[in-house]
Amino acid sequence: MIFDYLPFILMPFILATGVALNLLAGGARNELEENAPEYANLLYRSLAEQLLRRAYPVRVLVLFFTPVPPAVKGSVAALRVVFASHLAMLIPFVTLFLFNWLRS
């Protein structure tokens, strides 16, 4: 059945969007810190927080629900798209993985 193999099919895409998210967040950091330093301080986590909590480099609530300064709308829009695509693949992966685990 396809549901048995779908988590393994989704895994490379989840890893690719995770790498893209980290690279895009790192690349946009300089622009955000130059043009909107207070927004960048809200948006980005510290390296220690990322490593110790295994968290994403950006805070989700700030990314999606805080008003964006006009100077950095393009970079934040790109971050939103990559993060949303990552979550769009991660949620079915976790759901199907748990479904298969509980079914067996």
Say if residue 13's pLDDT is above 90.
yes
What is the count of structural domains for the chain?
A: 1
Answer yes or no: are the C-beta atoms of 25 and 100 closer than 8 Å. no
CA atoms within 13 A on the CB side of 33: 8
Predicted TM-score (pTM) of this structure: 0.85
73-103 and 2-35 helices, crossing angle to 10°: 160
Give the structural domain span for 72. Answer: 9-103
pLDDT per residue as tens digits for the range 42-75: 999 888 887 777 788 899 999 999 999 999 999 9
Residue 1 lies in a domain: no
| pLDDT of the residue at 53 | 79
pLDDT per residue as tens digits for the range 80-99: 999 999 999 999 999 988 88
Residue 2 lies in a domain: no
Q: Which of these ranges, 5-14, 30-39, 67-76, has the smallest mean pLDDT?
A: 5-14
Strand, helix or coil for residue 69? coil
Residue 61 lies in a domain: yes
Residue 4 lies in a domain: no
**Other residues' Cβ atoms within 10 Å of the Cβ of residue 68:** 19
